[in-house]
Amino acid sequence: MPIGETYHGVCPHDTPRSNMMDMKTIQDWVESYMKLRIWICPYEERHDSFYKDWKSIRTDVDYQNIFNQINWNNKEGIELITGKKGSMVVSFRKDEESNYSKQSLSKVLSILGLSKDYEWVVESDYSYGIVLDVHSLPSGKITKKYRDFHLYWEDFYPLPPGMNNYRYWFTNGFPRKHPEAMAWNVFMEKLQEIDKLHLLVDEVVRAEWRKNEIIGKTILGILLVVVIGVITGVFSILFNVDFDTWIWIFITTLAAAIGLIWMMSS
């Protein structure tokens, strides 16, 4: 949305109770979000210095001070500051088959114990994001990358109306209350169930997962060759086996090991 222009609505799924069409400017959206007790910041072309300031905020007073300095209508979008006020987002990509994506969303909401019309479902042309208030968090690093979905924590997640020509909307109308609260240990148990659904995942995360898998297989392959080489080499020395015979033993043993590993993993 160009700066200063009136917002004409980006949600193709407006419901009778949706008041998103009343939002005419970024400022209107900001004022509505503030009533929901979440922390938001303006969208900014990604640079560490800007987002570092928002991540470092610890108190409501500090947040309000920096919040009040923002000319929101000169900004192109709004983002949720996850990791603050318990805000956490579970996000996964849509499939090309829309019915499959809707079924996936329904399953995730069910596992999380949320109603099918849960208000904090943020949708875009490419993904779904479910916002929760996850409290009672333990100390230590939180794993944010899973095989089939992306977990946003101490990160920034786009909120409606969208940014940089990307549309975002609430699937079930603008929320009327704070995101649903859930204890951390309960949330972690539910994540394990969600992970078994084999949802689509952000391509960046998928690419990293594939890269790690290739690296792991390469290391395993090298170790396998070295170990079998050493074992068959020692065998050849002890039994005075000639080089050609050792090569045949080595290749046969390696092929048998690869076949065994393949059978166990399939």
The CATH code of the domain that includes 67 is: 3.30.2250
Which 8-state DSSP code applies to residue 137?
A: P
pLDDT score recorded for residue 16: 33
104 and 95 Cβ atoms separated by less than 8 Å: yes
Considering the domain architecture, whether residues 137 and 231 belong to the same structural domain is answered as: no
Q: What is the mean pLDDT of the chain?
A: 82
Tell which of 174, 201, 228 closes a domain. Answer: 201
Considering the domain architecture, whether residues 154 and 224 belong to the same structural domain is answered as: no
| pLDDT band, very low/low/confident/very high, at 260 (cuts 50, 70, 90) | confident
Place of tokens 């829309």: 98
Q: Does residue 157 carry a pLDDT above 60?
A: yes
pLDDT score recorded for residue 14: 37
pLDDT score recorded for residue 236: 87
| pLDDT band, very low/low/confident/very high, at 105 (cuts 50, 70, 90) | very high
The average pLDDT across 33-46 equals 88
Structure tokens at 227: 């170990």
| pLDDT band, very low/low/confident/very high, at 166 (cuts 50, 70, 90) | confident
Considering the domain architecture, whether residues 126 and 242 belong to the same structural domain is answered as: no
Identify the CA nearest to 118 among candidates 47, 195, 179.
Answer: 179
Considering the domain architecture, whether residues 55 and 184 belong to the same structural domain is answered as: yes
pLDDT, tens digit, for every residue of 52-74? 888 888 889 999 988 888 888 88
| pLDDT band, very low/low/confident/very high, at 116 (cuts 50, 70, 90) | very high
Considering the domain architecture, whether residues 154 and 236 belong to the same structural domain is answered as: no
Q: Does residue 25 carry a pLDDT above 90?
A: no
pTM (global) more than 0.75 = no
Considering the domain architecture, whether residues 197 and 131 belong to the same structural domain is answered as: yes
| pLDDT band, very low/low/confident/very high, at 135 (cuts 50, 70, 90) | confident
pLDDT score recorded for residue 140: 56
Cα distances (angstroms) measured from residue 118 to each of 172, 203, 265 = 7, 26, 39
Considering the domain architecture, whether residues 147 and 53 belong to the same structural domain is answered as: yes
Tell which of 153, 186, 201 closes a domain. Answer: 201
The average pLDDT across 124-140 equals 84
Which domain covers residue 245, as residue numbers?
205-265
Instruction: In whole angstroms, give the CA distance from residue 124 to residue 133.
Output: 21
